[in-house]
Amino acid sequence: MVRSVIQGVGSALPKRVMTNDDMSKVVDTSHEWIVERTGIHARHIASEGETTRSLAVAAAKDALAAAHMDASAIDLIILATSTPDQTFPATATSVQADLGIRHGMAFDVQAVCSGFVYALTTADALLKAGQAKAALVIGSETFSRILDWSDRTTCVLFGDGAGAFVLTAESDGANRGILACKLHSDGRYNDKLYVDGGPSTTQTVGHLRMEGKEVFKHAVVNIASVMQEVLEDAKVPASQIDWFVPHQANRRILEGTARKLGISEDRIVLTLDRHGNTSAASIPLAFDVAVKDGRIKTGDLVLMEAMGGGFTWGAVLARL
């Protein structure tokens, strides 16, 4: 059986760090409120010249170095983003050019905060189908550029960054690689988390709008249920999970869903405190932190999940 095996993980963050105290100089908020309601202490914010493309390229190079692979081996690039450099062409093709790759295919996936699990699932399907041999799956975002910096209910939540996986199709991958994936969407909830602009409607980029409480309610239910689905698919009990790498939206959501499934707190990779919510970049960013600090090791069983605008949600179970 062909498996998509994770060969390397990488990430990149903008240089500038914005703390909650810095945030309280921009909107009427406090460090205490943000920490109590979300778990966020600080986030990175892109400066002029740092873009979704440049962060994606830096994360991709880091992942290729970790995989000990040359960019020329890559024949598939999927970039998950809701903040592309341009409406078109796909930022993935710019990343392809910057990496000096002239073959294979590159495209963007747009599933907001679930983008990385959507991109991983798509890459897994293409690798298994023999359409590609080696994939770069990237989540890269500059949400700071679509925030309404006068809206304290949203601007305190998000940050910028990028993370990347290198995956290869292996027919003798033993029990390594992606073991199960499951995606969902329900477009009835489009208006709960959206951007109030776009090329076809306003000809502007627009700003992020969210009914936080509504998203929160659905997130707890949907995430727990899709995690259960992938575990059942792979016939793996939650007790066997070595690491839980959730989308980093809210500490209360991810701890609540882990508790529901019986995953202990010391198995959760939490980077929300220093990254904020980086949308499609949050899972690979958190994953990379835990690989680099020695927590996630080859052979570990890792459960990833996300929920975001659409609504979209999904989960991926993989053995590193």
CB distance 85 to 53 below 8 Å:
yes
Let me know if 68 is a catalytic residue: no
Let me know if 181 is a catalytic residue: no
**Which of 185, 218, 215, 209 lies closest to 114, judged by CA?**
185
Beta-strand runs (E) in 150-258: 160-170, 177-185, 193-195, 208-210, 243-246
Site size for ligand UT7 (CB under 6 A): 19
Residues 45 and 271: their CA atoms lie apart, in Å, by 15
Kindly state whether residue 216 participates in binding ligand UT7, applying the rule CB under 6 A. yes
Kindly state whether residue 215 participates in binding ligand UT7, applying the rule CB under 6 A. yes
DSSP state of 131: S
Dump the DSSP string for 124-170. Answer: HHHHHTTS-SEEEEEEEEEGGGGS-TT-HHHHTTB-EEEEEEEEEEE
Query: What is the pattern of x (binds ligand UT7, CB under 6 A) and - over residues 119-138?
Result: --------------------
Please identify which residue in 16, 31, 37, 133 interacts with ligand UT7, judged by CB under 6 A: 37
Q: Tell me whether residue 252 or residue 295 sits nearer to ligand UT7 (CB atom).
A: 252
Which tokens hold the place of 39? 């778990």
Please identify which residue in 16, 61, 133, 152 interacts with ligand UT7, judged by CB under 6 A: 152
Please identify which residue in 10, 163, 177, 308 interacts with ligand UT7, judged by CB under 6 A: 308
Token pair 């209360």 is found at 252
Let me know if 247 is a catalytic residue: yes
C-alpha R_g of the chain: 18
Residues 46-105 binding ligand UT7 (CB under 6 A) are none
Q: Tell me whether residue 31 or residue 295 sits nearer to ligand UT7 (CB atom).
A: 31
Please identify which residue in 167, 223, 249, 289 interacts with ligand UT7, judged by CB under 6 A: 249
Query: What is the pattern of x (binds ligand UT7, CB under 6 A) and - over residues 269-288?
Result: --------x-----------
Residues 299 and 315: their CA atoms lie apart, in Å, by 19
- Provide, rounded to whole angstroms, the least separation between the CB of residue 253 and ligand UT7: 6
Token pair 């909650």 is found at 20
Kindly state whether residue 178 participates in binding ligand UT7, applying the rule CB under 6 A. no
User: Is the sign of the CA dihedral 93, 309, 150, 140 positive or negative?
Assistant: negative
The single residue of 113, 181, 250, 275 carrying the catalytic annotation is: 113
Residues 74 and 134: their CA atoms lie apart, in Å, by 5
For ligand UT7, the binding residues (CB under 6 A) are: 29, 33, 37-38, 113, 152-153, 156, 212-213, 215-216, 219, 249-250, 253, 277, 307-308
Which residues are marked as active site? Answer: 113, 247, 277
